[in-house]
A and B are shown apart, each in its own frame.
Chain A
């Protein structure tokens, strides 16, 4: 049998290892959750009617991001507003050429780049989702945050309005912060 000291040591080790693993997992699971969030956002956001005529729902991802893989996985099984989902990769320099309904801006995109294409995009009927602190002020509509290892988001009504998008009050309620 294990001695008491040995037992304590062993359990401490297990706890440390677990916490590490969980953190790891959160980093990996972060994009899975964000992908799910993105899909769920579509349920609370309304696009213009003209957009409704398109046959596919396109989600654009700038640059390379682990989220792309997860989005693709989800898109394979789901539809949004009875439309097939297409995941496209957009260039970091010219994302405006990327025709999509949601544009995900990963944290890899620099503030400068974001500022460059955002002015073009905001007039278009595109929901811009970023994951970098301060981007909401730069013109993003929804910005993911990680608070206490949990994924949260903030919303800018100003940006939504500019992009001619309507967000459900339910969604607004869930947002950690709302910018007018």
Chain B
């Protein structure tokens, strides 16, 4: 019955009806045929009995008189009955009296040899009749007949044939009737199913079944309609809810956008105010540093003159106060930067051992003056080279060790380091600065890291300092993922312990650190103080002009002074200088503009002259801006004359080496040609990605160039626009901003049907740029692939 569940309802109904029909008809026909056959046999027996009776009547005398001939001749009368194959007459002792065999038949012996009753007996093919012959109630003998059943069988079979034909005919008629009648049941169901299919496929819930009968299908379609109605309502409600939701989302989005805009505005305001604050601080520190610079400079010059004891004491007081003021200014600047979140860490190779010993050396002078022993216990397990910000590390150490020495009258200051752990590329170190100084009261321990807080109000008076040092140290450590803690006992000393996680250096970095050191040593070796150096100083403040002049003359070098940028350029154009010291804030033309102009000069030598920025704007940003404009070094005022000399010497020596200049020039050029910062940011360390990006761009550009060339030849503006647009993307990826700009121009011109000559000249430039960049980028690729 499984196949029934997979065929259509039409066929199902037809098949069911046909099966029913067949079952009924087979039962009817077989019953009819059975009874017909039975009656056929009955009739046959009846006929045979009639014949037997006649024969028997005629056989009485032959039997009584035992006359075989007569008996035989009577039996010969059976000839007419062609069915009868054999017959015989036996007497009461079953002795054979007469015998008959149909012509052509074999002899046959009746098996029955006793019995006095009339009987009929069927075998599969024959009918046997045993008829009793009596006379005056006296049993005389038996007449035996054997009849073939071919006749009734033939009749039966022909009936079967006719009935079969009738059944077959009836079957076809029934089939057609069933095929017509099933539609009354199946059509509504098929329609309903089709409707459901429509509903499912088209999601159309507005259709309805049109069947109105009250039967089960009617109920079904009614229920289906009800369901559809409900779904439709639900759908409506849903879509309404949806649209309401959408509306609400839109409203919310609008609100959010508004709020966002307000936030952006607020943020801009905050940024502006922060900038203003920074600007204020930078200006303030500049304004303070400039005179302070002069004060300290002249104090140094004054110290070198012949002074009496009293004067010397005064000069030293000036030195102490001035240096303290400088520290305060620097601290305030640092703190304000930290708080503004603008503090950058310059992560590079850092030699922990060297840092520790140089701090020790630096402080050792002060310690010796106070007769304090300074001890360094370095843990040799700490790797020599790690990655960290060396300057900040030094700052932290100097601050803490300086404090320790400052607050210790006698005894020892111990600097010790310890390796805590090395894992996951991190080197965690612990540093302890322990002193035998005045100590900190327990109730003040929690406060010493607060800004402008010291253990006691008279600390400043007695020891100087701003109360900012520890705050800065703590902030610097926190920003680097470190931590500081303090243990102290009043009168016995304090111990500051800080942890700092450095990044583990790879072998390469460790090596590069070494080469750097060697390089520096070599550069130092090349310092030739005997050589005459001509310096151009651009400085507007007369005080500072004098100071610089004094220092340079002290070194024995030549110098000219320009009061502003304009003067500096004029002087530079007139004379030959080895180096320019450029103040940034100047009247008429500031240092930025002047440097830019110098870098744009025709004269190859003057164009590449080393420029050292001298500025009171002490910030990383400032430094970056200066270097970005093509200046070579940056020194914040007030400067250390030693640092200045070293910088000058290094730069002058570099310019002397022709090769270096060339490399320098090439780099500048390549920087203009392309800038890989953008994709490097995206690659975030994935070298394969970087290689892939660059090589894809290099590979994809030449065909586009060819295309653009032919487009230009054809003066097909539409095509030019499309091609230049797709090429622009590639150039922007490589940071070839100039080339991209030229392409944009082409694009715009193509849109406005501009001059084809301009376009083609732009194209030649772009082509040249790309060829140049391609060579350099291929070198970069080789480096990356190694």
Contacts and interface: CB of A to CB of B under 8 A. Distances in A.
Interface string A157-180: 000000000001011011000000
B61 A168 contact: yes
Contact of A40 (B58, B65, B70): B65
Nearest to B59: A170
A173 B65 contact: no
Interface centre among B60, B61, B135 (most CB of A within 10 A): B61
B58 A43 contact: no
Nearest to A81: B136
Given A44-B61, A168-B61, A174 B67 contact: yes
B62 interface: yes
Central interface residue in B58, B62, B65, B70, by most chain A CB within 10 Å: B65
B177 interface: no
A37 interface: yes
A43 B61 CA distance: 9
Contacts of B61: 40, 44, 168, 170-171, 173-174
Interface string B63-91: 01101001000000000000000000000
Given A40-B64, A44-B61, A168-B61, A174 B70 contact: yes
A173 to B, nearest CB: 6
Interface in A126-174: 168, 170-171, 173-174
A168 B64 CA distance: 13
Nearest to B63: A40
Interface string A32-44: 0000010010011
Interface in B105-161: 135-136
Contacts of B65: 37, 40, 174
A43 B136 contact: yes
A34 to B, nearest CB: 11
Contacts of B136: 43
A43 B62 contact: no
A173 B64 contact: no
A43 B70 contact: no
Given A43-B64, A168-B61, A173 B70 contact: yes
Nearest to A39: B64
Given A170-B60, A171-B61, A43 B135 contact: yes
A26 B313 CA distance: 202
A40 B136 CA distance: 11
A174 B66 CA distance: 10
Nearest to B65: A174
Interface in B29-75: 58, 60-62, 64-65, 67, 70
B58 A170 contact: yes
B99 to A, nearest CB: 18
Contacts of A174: 61-62, 65, 67, 70
A44 B64 CA distance: 10
A44 B60 CA distance: 10
Interface in B610-645: none
Most buried by B among A43, A170, A171, A174: A170
A170 B73 CA distance: 12
A43 B64 CA distance: 10
Contacts of A168: 61
Contacts of A40: 61, 64-65
Contacts of B60: 43, 170
Nearest to A171: B61
A103 to B, nearest CB: 20
Contacts of A37: 65
A26 B62 CA distance: 20
Nearest to A37: B65
Contacts of A171: 61
Contacts of A43: 60, 64, 135-136
Contacts of B67: 174
Interface in B707-732: none
Interface string A41-54: 00110000000000
Contacts of A44: 61
Interface string A12-39: 0000000000000000000000000100
Nearest to A42: B136
Interface in B253-288: none
A45 to B, nearest CB: 12
A173 B62 CA distance: 9
A25 to B, nearest CB: 16
A170 B71 CA distance: 11
Nearest to A33: B66
B276 to A, nearest CB: 163
A173 B60 CA distance: 12
Nearest to B136: A43
A44 B58 CA distance: 12
Residue picked from B64, B67, B135, B136, most chain A C-beta under 10 Å: B64
Interface string B346-358: 0000000000000
Nearest to B70: A174
Nearest to B68: A150
Interface in B341-379: none
Contacts of B64: 40, 43
A37 B135 CA distance: 14
Contacts of A170: 58, 60-61
Contacts of B58: 170
A18 to B, nearest CB: 20
A173 B70 CA distance: 8
Contacts of A173: 61, 70
B136 to A, nearest CB: 6
A44 B61 CA distance: 8
Interface in A42-72: 43-44
A173 B65 CA distance: 11
A173 B59 CA distance: 11
Nearest to A82: B136
A164 to B, nearest CB: 22
A174 B135 CA distance: 16
B574 to A, nearest CB: 181
Interface string A115-128: 00000000000000
A170 B60 CA distance: 8
Nearest to B64: A40
A38 to B, nearest CB: 11
Looking at A37, A40, A168, the one whose CB has the most chain B CB atoms below 10 A away is: A40
Interface string B484-504: 000000000000000000000
A72 B261 CA distance: 159
A174 B98 CA distance: 14
A171 B135 CA distance: 13
Contacts of B135: 43
A37 B62 CA distance: 11
A147 to B, nearest CB: 11
A155 to B, nearest CB: 12
A178 to B, nearest CB: 14
A40 B67 CA distance: 13
A168 B136 CA distance: 14
A170 B65 CA distance: 11
A173 B69 CA distance: 11
B356 to A, nearest CB: 154
Nearest to B74: A173
A174 B67 CA distance: 7
Contacts of B70: 173-174
| 8 A-B pairs closest in CB distance | A170-B61, A40-B64, A174-B61, A174-B65, A174-B67, A174-B70, A43-B135, A171-B61
14 contacts: A37-B65, A40-B61, A40-B64, A40-B65, A43-B64, A43-B135, A43-B136, A44-B61, A170-B60, A171-B61, A173-B61, A174-B61, A174-B62, A174-B65
Interface of A: 37, 40, 43-44, 168, 170-171, 173-174
Given A40-B65, A43-B60, 15 more contacts: A37-B65, A40-B64, A43-B64, A43-B135, A44-B61, A168-B61, A170-B58, A170-B60, A170-B61, A173-B61, A173-B70, A174-B61, A174-B62, A174-B65, A174-B67
Interface of B: 58, 60-62, 64-65, 67, 70, 135-136
